[in-house]
Structure 1
Amino acid sequence: MIVGSLYIVGLAGALIAFILNNNFKMGIVVGSALPSLVFALLVMVFAPYLPITLATEAPVIFYGAAFIGMASNKILSSYLLIGIAGFLFTFIYLFTSPYFEGFGGALGTTAALCFLPVWSISLLKKK
C-alpha cells in the first residue's frame, strides 16, 4: 500500500512539473521547484499522521520526479510517457538509493536515465 503510494507520488511529481512548465509557462525551475516545495510542506504538516516511510521518502521522490517534468513539450509531448518516466524513476530510486548515499546529483542523474528510454520510445513511434 505504502509503496504503491510512492509510485503515485513519482508519477504526479513528473506530470505536475511538466504541466506547470509547458502548459502554464512557468519555466523549468519554477515549474519543478514550486510543486516540490508545496508537496514537501504538506508532508511536513501531515507527517505525524503518515507512515514513516511515506513521510521520509515521498518528498524526495516527488522532487526527483519533478526533474523529469522539466522536459520541453517540443522534445516529448506525451503525458503518458512523462508519467511512465516518473513511475520508472520511483522504481529505480527505491531499489538503488542506498548505493548513491553521499553522492551529489543522484536524483537528477536518475531522472535523466528514466527520461531517456521514454524519449527513445517516442522517437521510435515517430519513425
Structure 2
Amino acid sequence: MNKNTQIILTTTIATIVTYYLSINLGLGAVVASGIVGLSVALFLPTDLSIVAYTAAFAGMSSAQVLASYPMVAFAGLLVGIIFIITQPLYQGFGGKLGTIAACAVFITARLFRLF
C-alpha cells in the first residue's frame, strides 16, 4: 500500500474513532482526542501517528457540526488529502495540524449543506 493511501486510511479511521468516543460513548472531545493521540503514538509509526493526531482534531467536532458518520468520514478523508498536499509547506510551524483539521471540517460542513 502506498504512503498516500496509508495516510488517507489513517486519517479517516482516526477521525471516526475520535468522534465515536466523544459523541457515542460520551467521553467528550478532549478525552476522546487524548485516547486516540496516545494510542496512535504507542502503536503506529511516527509519520502515521502525526496524521492520526491531526485527524483526531477533526473528530473532536460536535454533532451539530458533523451530524452523521458520512460527514465524519468525509472530513477524515479531507484531512488526509490536505495533509498530503501541504506536507512540504510550513514544516515546524505551530498550528498547522489544527488548521488542516479545521479546514477539513469547514469544507465538509459547507459541502454537505449544499446537498
TM superposition score normalised by structure 1? 0.83
Once the two structures are superposed, residues 20-61 of structure 1 have per-residue CA deviations (whole angstroms, 9 ceiling, x without a partner) of 110011111111111121121012xxxxxxxxxxx2321011
Aligned twin of 2:8: 7
Asked if the contact 1:10/1:61 (under 8 Å) is kept, the reply is yes
Q: CA deviation at 1:124?
A: 2.4
C-alpha displacement of 1:97: 2.1
Structure 1: which amino acid aligns with 2:95?
Answer: G
What SS class does the counterpart of residue 18 from structure 2 fall into? helix
Distance in 1 (CA, whole Å) between partners of 2:90 and 2:71 is 26
Aligned residue identity for 1:27: G
Distance 2:78 2:11 in 1: 8
Percent identity (aligned): 32
Q: How many corresponding residue pairs? A: 114
* 1:61 match: secondary structure: helix
Q: Which of 65, 74, 78 is the matching residue for 2:64?
A: 74
Query: Equivalences for 1:1-127 in 2 at 5 Å?
Result: 1-3=1-3, 4-43=5-44, 55-125=45-115
Q: Quick one: distance in 2 between partners of 1:75 and 1:99?
A: 28
Q: Indicate the RMSD between aligned Cα atoms, in angstroms.
A: 1.2
Greater fraction helix: 1
Larger radius of gyration between Structure 1 and Structure 2: 1
List alignment gaps of at least 5 residues for structure 1: 44-54
The runs of 5 or more residues in structure 2 that have no matched partner are none
Q: Distance in 1 between matches of 2:29 and 2:8?
A: 22
